[in-house]
Amino acid sequence: MASVARRIKASSINWAAIAERVPENQKSQYLAFKAKSDGYLRRMLSQPEEPPKIDWAFYKTSVAVPGMVEDFQKKYDALKIPYPADNLTPQIEAQKQEAAKEVKEYINASNARIASYEAELAKIRAMLPFEMMTMEDFRDAYPDQALDPLNRPTFWPHEPEDQPDYEEETPQAEAKH
Answer yes or no: is 24 within a domain.
Answer: yes
The whole-angstrom separation of Cα 141 and Cα 134 is 11
The whole-angstrom separation of Cα 152 and Cα 164 is 12
Full residue range of the structural domain in which residue 144 is found:
134-161
- Compute the average pLDDT of residues 35-42: 92
Task: Classify residue 166: in a domain, yes or no.
Answer: no
138 shares a domain with 122: no
Rounded to whole angstroms, the Cα distance separating 6 from 86 reads 13
Residue pair 1/25 in contact by the 8 Å Cβ criterion: no
Same domain, 64 and 93: no
Calpha distance 148→140 (Å, rounded): 11
Q: Are residues 115 and 142 in the same domain?
A: no
Q: Would the pLDDT of 176 be above 60?
A: no
Asked if residue 25 is part of any domain, the answer here is yes
Looking at every residue in the chain, the average pLDDT score rounds to: 86
Query: What would the mean pLDDT of 38-42 be, rounded to a whole number?
Result: 90
Instruction: Judge whether 163 and 154 are in contact, CB under 8 Å.
Output: yes
Q: Is residue 147 part of a domain?
A: yes
Residues 18 and 43 reside in one and the same domain: yes
Name the domain count of the chain: 4
User: Does any domain span residue 173?
Assistant: no
pLDDT band at 84 (very low <50, low <70, confident <90, very high): confident
Cα separation of 127 and 19, whole Å? 48
Quick check: is 114 in a domain?
yes
Residue 168, domain member (yes or no): no
List pLDDT tens digits, range 105-163: 999 999 999 999 999 999 989 988 889 989 888 888 888 888 777 887 887 887 888 88
pLDDT value of position 2: 46
Distances (CA, A) of 141 to 129, 131, 135, 170: 11, 14, 10, 32
Q: Answer whether residue 111 is part of any domain.
A: yes
Q: What are phi and psi of 148, to 5 degrees?
A: -130, 85
